[in-house]
A and B are shown apart, each in its own frame.
Chain A
Amino acid sequence: MEQEILSAGIDLGTTTSQVIFSRIKLENISYTAVPEIRIKEKEIIYKSKIYFTPMMEDNRIDIPALISILQKEYHLAGIKRQDISTGAVIITGETSRKENARQALQGLSAEAGDFVVAEAGPDLESVLAGFGSGAAAASRVWEGAVINFDIGGGTTNAAVFSNEEIQDSFALDIGGRLVRLDENGKITYISDRLIPLINEMSLPLKIGDKVELNYLRQLTDALAMVLLHICQGQELTAVEEKLFINHGIEYKKFERVMFSGGVAECIYDSSWDGGYVDIREVNKYGDIGPLLGASIRRIFSRECGITLLEPREKIRATVIGAGSYSVRISGSTVIMDDGCVPLTNIPVLHLDHTEQGHELKEEYRRKRRFYPQSQQVAIAFAGKRSPEYSAVKAVAKALADITRNEGDILLVIVEQDFAKALGMLLRQFASQHHVICLDRIHAADGDYVDVGKSVSGIVPVAVKTLIFKS
């Protein structure tokens, strides 16, 4: 028995924006009356063209233009917004720092469908790009880790995978559009984030100047060297370290690297070796993207002990990651109330002590204070592999007790497989609440979850783990 859900991925980037639709095939592989649903296949059924992200004069996002792009793409794909049951809008790179970024995100998600929405955040973006590029999949067949750099216009988002599991993620202010040129080769823009490096290198690059290609290449070589040093586990200089967004990394060696993002299109394009000839060629897009790509290719092609892997997707990696990899599915025996969903951006309150009722209540009270009383929270805990009935009953009673005066919905997520039993008890003990009790999903303190409508008895859930390390 097969079921399909449609998923949308929307990537709103510094330079470009795009939409994809994918079909996620679910199949029930159980012969018995306990369904066992698994994701059988993810197929991208539509890719939009790549748009330049519409911006207004004042450097804010042009939301109406964006929405009309979205409407047009839905129309072209022949997909109605109500057909979409899951997916993610992701706002990436420098765009996420625009003052109306949040409105843009809200506008888009309202327009795109009642689906699960993922917030922006460089770490999340890194992870999605790594799934979309194929780095996660490649890490299954290689010993050691695979690092993926998704290099866009504004930022580089890196994710480290080992055996398809995320190990680390971080972001850097390295991108193809951090320096822009006009058609005459005059510099029109230099990102503030690059100024310290440019100064340290004493490069004579200034807005309004006609560019010296040689200096530009010194800059892109330096940026490429930063990535190389990261892969080699070499410590960066103080100025280079400032390129990290939010947090740095623990230095260690990576033997295999993959690149995605717009700049990757130039990295893997061997038709041009980056050799100096014509400014017009370098200046194809009015920025340093091609030059940065060539620098990376040249530097990583040297004997540097690092293997360059071919990505499955380059410029579309993030949007495909957003459309196909942002969602997990719950176990198949759960307690669900479809009248209450979608629920989005629900903070997770994780309980570590569920053995004793009083400890559970104590921990809950302590952690609940961080959120306003009116705020819906998701209560998550691990649970035992096959717990005893009396233990689950005690947990259910304690949870019912402690949440007695809270809002309408009691949302509980356990890692082990007993949501149906727990949920049945919660319905008895907390009958004033709408109970949603899901299992086989891991969520930790600080995560946010989105819960979608059930499909064939299972529930799509996005757990947004933002690994900010400040």
Chain B
Amino acid sequence: MRLKTTLFGHTYAFKDVKEVLAKANEEKSGDILAGVAAESTVERIAAKTVLADMTLEDLRNNPVVPYEDDDITRVDQDSVDEEVFGRIKAMTVGEFREFLLSASEKEIAAIRPALTSEIVAAVAKLMSNMDLVYAAKKMHVEATCNTTIGKPGTLSSRLQPNHATDDVAGIMASVMEGISYGVGDAVIGLNPAVDAIDSVADILKEFKDFMYKWDIPTQNCVLAHVTTQMKVLERNLAPMDLMFQSLAGSEVASRAFGINVALIDEAYAIMKERKSSTGPNFMYFETGQGSELSADGHHGADQLVMEARCYAFAKRYNPFLVNTVVGFIGPEYLYDGRQMIRAGLEDHFMGKLTGIPMGCDVCYTNHMRADQNDLENLAMMLTMADCNYIMGIPAGDDVMLMYQTTSYHDAAALRRLSGKQTIAPFEKRMKELGIFDELGNLSQIAGDPSLFISREQEMHLRSAV
């Protein structure tokens, strides 16, 4: 393995794979904060040059967190198909990039079982933004819960009806408006303000009732801590189609999230037994670059490679949904719109390459140097990259988490821009309800939550009279 190069007459020597990976990363404020970033632009390119020369075997043999120390490294390494790995291990990262850009979807799928997080992150570091979109576009990962997400030609959305105090009527008001825009085919999923068993159960029931009453083919989820959801299941308090957890890329960082591999294994097992959904995929994970550093669990590695490790963790559970919450963490990790866009494209690409059904929460906070235009740029790029799903919230303003993400309008506009549709049964139902026209675009009556009031009224009607 060669760790040195010269560029413009200057010598660049790196001490190990971890350093090369970190310095090869596109500029991120989080890597600077961690003290692992390249010190100059030329050094960054030198690191990329050295990285391009490394073999996939070099990367496999040098996980950024040692096998003995970390349950996620073990999950990742143990899942490698040795036979497939043997076929590709001599390939350099540079060659691997070219392979991904030129191979067919099938050929890429065939080598997927040989990949570790470090390989996935490494090749992302060599790709330009358009490379990331171009390569991702030929990787489709489908998953089935009640419905099937990720089919070519679809762009789904999560209806995120967050409310400052979890008031059920207020949550449902946002649900009604969201469905009236054709949003929610991925999931109706709330981030609860209060992580309490009873209220989580109440909201799950409310979502399920709405889905049942209006015959909406989708899945319900409340994004509480996994232990809260497990209690809901243990006590049989409410129907749950999808189980959620936020993931981090190391054992130490996971501890800050109150999880580890054993706990998620346990959660998966109980969910498998008690879930209310029909398909084989029933887990939902969120991730985001920088959370490992924030939890002091980055082990001196850069935030991109730590993010890739989250996907290896997620893959273990054949999830239905995985998305990065790309601009949520703050400017000390992703400083501005440029870094946010880059990270969104990287994460989506890496997720797809890992083999998980990847979506993206395209978002920013108010203390980032980013605005609505940056968000819209990334959303359009990801739509082009065949991202499985995005978020949808009222006018882009999340009144509980206090950040901005894609709006109900954005989801509809992106479908129309790209000619994509929602998941087929959902689309059919939206047409029946008159929300979509025959082409699957928003109809005249779309965007009106009062469309969904009448069933509630009927409960008060005397049927006999």
Please list the residues of chain A having a beta carbon within 8 angstroms of any beta carbon in chain B. Answer: 27, 29, 36, 38, 40, 134, 138, 140-142, 258, 268, 270, 300-301, 307-310
Bound-state CA distance A258–B462 (Å) is: 10
Whether the Cβ atoms of A307 and B165 lie closer than 8 Å is no
Q: Is the CB of A307 within 8 A of B193?
A: no
8 A Cβ contacts from B417-465 to A: 453, 456-457, 460-462, 464-465
Contact A310:B462 (CB < 8 A) given known A29-B165, A29-B166, A29-B194: yes
A390 to chain B, nearest CB (A): 31
Q: Which single member of A27, A36, A38, A141 contacts B460 (CB below 8 Å)?
A: A141
Q: Is the CB of B465 within 8 A of A141?
A: no
A-B contact count (CB 8 A): 33
| Chain B residue with Cβ nearest A301 | B465
In the complex where A29-B165, A141-B453 touch, is A309 in contact with B461 (Cβ < 8 A)? Answer: yes
Alpha-carbon gap, A405 to B460, bound state (A): 55
In whole Å, how far is A301's beta carbon from the nearest beta carbon of chain B?
5
Distance to closest chain B CB from A81 (angstroms): 29
Contact of A308 among B198, B457, B462 (CB under 8 A): B462
Complex Cα spacing A301 to B198, Å: 41
Who on chain B is nearest to A137 by CB? B460
Cα distance, A134 to B462, chains bound together (Å): 13
B-chain residues with CB within 8 Å of residue A140 when the two chains form the complex: 169
Closest chain B CB from A458 CB (angstroms) = 15
A309–B460 contact, CB under 8 A?
Answer: yes
Residue among B165, B198, B465 with most chain A CB within 10 A: B465
Give the interface size bracket for B toward A.
10 to 19
30 contacts between A and B (CB under 8 A): A27-B194, A27-B196, A29-B165, A29-B166, A29-B193, A29-B194, A36-B165, A38-B165, A40-B198, A134-B460, A138-B460, A140-B169, A141-B453, A141-B456, A141-B457, A141-B460, A142-B457, A142-B460, A258-B460, A268-B462, A300-B465, A301-B465, A308-B462, A308-B465, A309-B460, A309-B461, A309-B462, A310-B460, A310-B461, A310-B462
Query: Of all chain B residues, which has the CB nearest A25?
Result: B198
Shortest Cβ distance from B194 into A: residue: A29
Residues of B within 8 A of A141 (CB): 453, 456-457, 460
The 5 closest A-B pairs by CB, nearest first: A138-B460, A309-B460, A310-B462, A141-B456, A308-B465
Tell me the bound Cα distance from A27 to B198 in angstroms: 11
Which chain B residue has the least Cβ–Cβ distance from A256? B460
Interface residues of B in 131-187 (CB under 8 A from A): 165-166, 169
Name the distance in Å between B426's Cβ and chain A's nearest Cβ. Answer: 25
CA distance A40 to B168 in the complex (A): 10
Interchain CA distance A36-B194 in the complex, whole Å? 12
Residues of A within 8 A of B465 (CB): 300-301, 308
Chain B residues with Cβ below 8 Å from A36 are: 165
Q: Which residue of A lies closest to B164 (CB)?
A: A29
Contacts of A301 in B (CB 8 A): 465
CA distance A308 to B461 in the complex (A): 7
In the bound complex, how far is the Cα of B463 from the Cα of A310, in angstroms?
9
Q: Which of B189-232 contact A (CB under 8 A)?
A: 193-194, 196, 198-199
Instruction: Tell me the smallest distance from the CB of B228 to a CB of chain A, in Å.
Output: 15
* Docked CA distance A36–B166 (Å): 13
Residues from chain B with a CB closer than 8 A to the CB of A258 are 460
CB distance from A177 to the nearest CB of B (A): 25
Closest chain A residue, CB of each to CB of B463: A310
User: How distant is the Cα of A29 from the Cα of B165 in the complex, in angstroms?
Assistant: 7
A134 contacts across to B, CB distance below 8 A: 460
Min CB distance A240 to B, Å, is 25
A38 to B199 Cα, complex, angstroms: 13
The docked-state distance in angstroms from the alpha carbon of A308 to that of B465 is 7
Compute how far the CA of A270 lies from the CA of B166 in the bound complex, rounded to whole angstroms.
Answer: 40
Q: A9–B193 Cα gap in the complex (Å)?
A: 33
List residues of chain B with CB within 8 A of the CB of A268: 462
Once bound together, how far apart are the Cα atoms of A21 and B76, in whole Å? 57
Q: Name A297's closest neighbour in chain B (CB-CB).
A: B465
Give the chain A neighbours of B460 by CB distance below 8 A: 134, 138, 141-142, 258, 309-310
Rounded to whole Å, the gap between the CB of B450 and the closest CB of chain A is 9
A29 to B192, CA, bound (A): 11
Output the least CB separation between A434 and chain B (Å).
Answer: 33
Which residues of the other chain, A, contact B456 by a CB distance below 8 angstroms? Answer: 141
Q: 19 additional contacts, CB 8 Å, given A134-B460, A309-B462?
A: A27-B194, A29-B165, A29-B166, A29-B193, A36-B165, A141-B453, A141-B456, A141-B460, A142-B460, A258-B460, A268-B462, A270-B464, A300-B465, A307-B461, A308-B462, A308-B465, A310-B460, A310-B461, A310-B462
Residues on A with C-beta less than 8 A from B196 are: 27
Contacting residues, chain A, for B457 (C-beta < 8 A): 141-142
Q: Please give, as numbers and ranges, the residues of chain B lying within 8 Å of A38 by CB-CB distance.
A: 165
Contacts of B198 in A (CB 8 A): 40
* Chain B min CB distance to A10 (Å): 28
Q: Complex formed: what's the CA distance from A309 to B457 in Å?
A: 9
B462 cross-chain contacts in A, Cβ below 8 A: 268, 308-310
Minimum CB–CB distance for A225 against chain B, Å: 18
Question: Once the chains are docked, how many angstroms separate the CA of A258 from the CA of B193?
Answer: 36
Query: How many angstroms between the C-alpha atoms of A193 and B199 in the bound complex?
Result: 51
Distance (Å) between the CB of B193 and the closest chain A CB? Answer: 7
With both chains docked as a complex, state the minimum distance between the C-beta of A272 and any C-beta of chain B, in angstroms: 13
Q: Would you give the shortest CB distance from B134 to chain A, in whole angstroms? A: 44
How far, in angstroms, from A270 to B464 measured CA to CA in the complex?
8
Cα(A310)–Cα(B464), bound, Å: 10
Residue of A29, A36, A140, A268 with highest tally of chain B CB at under 10 A = A29
Most B Cβ at <10 Å: residue of A270, A301, A309: A309
In the complex, A63→B462 CA distance in Å? Answer: 40
- B207 CB, min distance to chain A CBs, angstroms: 18
Closest beta carbon of chain B to A13's beta carbon, Å: 25
- The interface residues of chain B lying within 8 Å CB-to-CB of A29 are 165-166, 193-194
Q: State in angstroms the CA–CA spacing of A40 and B166 once bound together.
A: 11
State A27–B193 Cα separation when bound (angstroms): 13
A38 to B196, alpha carbons, bound, how many Å?
A: 14
User: Nearest CB to that of A36 among chain B residues?
Assistant: B165
Residues of A within 8 A of B453 (CB): 141
Shortest CB distance A4–B (Å): 12
Closest Cβ neighbor of A146 among chain B residues: B460
**Whole-angstrom CA separation of A127 from B193 in the bound complex:** 33
CB distance from A306 to the nearest CB of B (A): 10
Distance in angstroms from B232 CB to nearest chain A CB is 16
Please name the residue on chain A nearest to B464 by beta carbon: A270
Complexed CA–CA distance, A36 and B193 (Å): 13
> In angstroms, how far is the closest chain A Cβ from the Cβ of B458?
9
